[in-house]
Amino acid sequence: MKNSNVITIAVSLIIGILISFSFNNTYEISPDEYADGFEENIKVFAVEIPRNIKFADEKVPLNRFYVKEALERELTVNTYFHSSSIFLIKRAHRWFSIIEPILKENNIPDDFKYLAVAESGLDNVVSPSGATGFWQILKHTGREYGLEVNDDIDQRYDLELATEAACKYLNKAYEKYGDWTLVAASYNAGMNKMTKELERQQEDNYYDMIFGEETGRYVYRILAIKSLLEKPEDYGFYLQKKGLYKPFKLEKITIDTAINDIPAFAKSFDLSYKEFKIYNPWIRQAYLANKSGRTYTILVP
């Protein structure tokens, strides 16, 4: 019994020594060898800042170092946040075709489509404060600009109607400030806050003003998204056209009555309940009561 224990201990020691020797020899690489082995495969570059960039045809003063560095920060964040940026490019191909003509009809510069991207990533998200939809509209703001918002219906989820509501706000802000960059910043800060800051800081230019973290980065984030989505290849994104999300081909159906059973209604169009709600996310329940007899537009393929 004792001899057996001695042999076992001896064997264990020999195995330990062999493992230690093997480990040390396998991973004993000099710093120079380590660097040489990875130098050819890993290369991280700083993003290039556009020489000239405008928002809504208003020139960005890149000659000011603090403007250039702030833009560089947002370009770097979005360029190297690969998974998020890829989905922005994919979604933009689907949703810009809806947003662009509505902006044009309301005399809003086309660049404001990038504001919607900055707000929501082109997804019907809800913020901690309750801001909802692509344009992140608060409940009281939605109602103020003509959207129906209640437990059954929430038109902040209707991209066309929400874009129309956003345009009303943007035009109102432009009447007040006469500067589209300030309009964009006010979409984040609110007009009351923007007006107070303009008076307090005695400035009339967003780029020369001091804001909190969110509003201070807001316009630069929009500019970074614009740069990325206009020329994704310049930032290392090469997406095949077949990989982009295609716009939905939908037909508009007008109704002015109740729909008691949305799942059954969806099946009458050979749609699952889920697919129907993807096209009509503003219907928040499995029915549409419509007690007031309003006219609504439903989308189906």
What confidence tens digit (pLDDT) does each residue in 112-140 have? 999 999 999 999 999 999 999 999 999 99
Q: Where does the pLDDT of residue 245 fall: very low under 50, low under 70, confident under 90, or very high at 90 and above?
A: very high
| pLDDT value at residue 39 | 52
Least confident of 16-30, 41-55, 65-79: 16-30
DSSP state of 300: E
26 to each of 14, 22, 37, 39, 96, how far by Cα in Å? 18, 6, 15, 20, 54
Q: How far apart are CA 280 and CA 63, in angstroms?
A: 46
Q: What is the mean pLDDT of residues 259-282?
A: 98
C-beta atoms surrounding 82 within 10 Å: 11
Would you say residue 35 has pLDDT above 60? no
Beta strands in the chain (DSSP E): 54-55, 58-59, 251-255, 296-300
The b/e string for 136-168 (b: 16+ C-beta within 10 A; e otherwise) is: bbbbebbbebebbbeeebbbbbbbbbbbbbbbe
Would you say residue 21 has pLDDT above 50? no
Q: Are 109 and 57 in contact (CB under 8 A)?
A: yes
Residue whose pair of structure tokens reads 């029915």 in the numeric block:
287
Q: What is the mean pLDDT of residues 21-42?
A: 47
| pLDDT value at residue 57 | 97
Q: Are 257 and 108 in contact (CB under 8 A)?
A: no
Q: Where does the pLDDT of residue 31 fall: very low under 50, low under 70, confident under 90, or very high at 90 and above?
A: very low
Q: Where does the pLDDT of residue 40 fall: very low under 50, low under 70, confident under 90, or very high at 90 and above?
A: low
pLDDT tens per residue across span 144-162 = 999 999 999 999 999 999 9
Would you say residue 250 has pLDDT above 60? yes
| pLDDT value at residue 226 | 98
Q: What is the mean pLDDT of residues 90-104?
A: 98
C-beta atoms surrounding 132 within 10 Å: 23
The tokens describing 25, both together, are: 């020899």
| pLDDT value at residue 44 | 75
Please report, as a single letter, which amino acid is at residue 18.
Answer: L
pLDDT tens per residue across span 175-220 = 999 999 999 999 999 999 999 999 999 999 999 999 999 999 999 9
Q: Where does the pLDDT of residue 26 fall: very low under 50, low under 70, confident under 90, or very high at 90 and above?
A: very low
Q: How far apart are CA 236 and CA 206, in angstroms?
A: 30
Would you say residue 270 has pLDDT above 80? yes
Q: How far apart are CA 58 and CA 49, in angstroms?
A: 17
Q: Where does the pLDDT of residue 102 fall: very low under 50, low under 70, confident under 90, or very high at 90 and above?
A: very high
- Residue among 155, 192, 162 at smallest CA distance from 176: 192
| pLDDT value at residue 24 | 45
| pLDDT value at residue 1 | 46
Half-sphere exposure of 197 (CA within 13 A, CB side): 21
Would you say residue 291 has pLDDT above 80? yes
Q: Rg of the Cα trace of the chain?
A: 28
Q: How far apart are CA 66 and CA 217, in angstroms?
A: 12
Would you say residue 244 has pLDDT above 90? yes
